[in-house]
Amino acid sequence: MEEAIKHYMDIVREKGINIYHFSVSRRLSNIEPELMNRFSAGEIFVTRQEHSDFEIFKREIGYHIPKDIADYLNAYWQPGIFGYYKDWSECFMLFSAIRHIGEKTDDFLLRSDGLISEAKRWLSYDGDLRKYMPIGIYDAYSCSFLLYEVGTGRIFIEDWDNDGGVESEPVADSLKELILGLYLK
């Protein structure tokens, strides 16, 4: 996972992307000041010193967060990973891990746009969290879920024609493959 994120960081640097390119930029006043200073200085991915234990995810959702998702979220404080993948015409956006003022290391999971609330929203669409876990969105207009298949690690897109369902074919065979294959226009 580290290799994939570093590859993505190189793409971000090459394109000259900064914190203001991310949708999170609308809420910049809430970001923990030391973290915001580093983001403003051009460091979009800040190595996490304290890792989340994700016990809150286990309590709220009922199972442990998959290791590759935990590795992704524990590696860096970051506003999310976004980009285009293969021949897909819409943008993919993975959920962020950003600490706001006064928060503990797991609190970002609880926000209204955090992993836990998005997982509960997926449940409200008759999604099965034991099979698929939302890890981001596809297409900013329709906000279709980008879904992680819990048993295999493959990545799918929500099927808008079938509540709680996914498209028939995976987008990528793993989260790492997806991140390595993202590009920015």
Q: What's the rounded Cα separation, in Å, for the pair 25 and 88?
A: 25
Q: What's the rounded Cα separation, in Å, for the pair 131 and 125?
A: 14
Average model confidence (pLDDT) across the chain: 89
| The pLDDT value given to residue 25 | 47
Q: CA nearest 154: which of 94, 68, 78?
A: 68
Q: What's the rounded Cα separation, in Å, for the pair 168 and 158?
A: 10
Per-residue pLDDT of the chain (185 residues; tens, 9 = 90+): 889 999 999 999 898 887 777 755 456 678 899 998 998 888 889 999 999 999 999 999 888 899 999 999 999 999 889 999 988 888 999 988 989 999 888 888 988 888 999 999 999 989 999 999 999 998 766 678 999 999 999 999 999 888 888 999 999 999 999 999 999 88
Q: What's the rounded Cα separation, in Å, for the pair 147 and 170?
A: 9
DSSP-based three-state secondary structure for 87: coil
pLDDT in tens, 109-143: 988 888 999 999 999 989 999 999 999 998 766 67
Contact 35, 98 (CB under 8 A): yes
Q: CA nearest 177: which of 78, 45, 86, 47?
A: 86
* Encoded tokens for 103: 């928060």
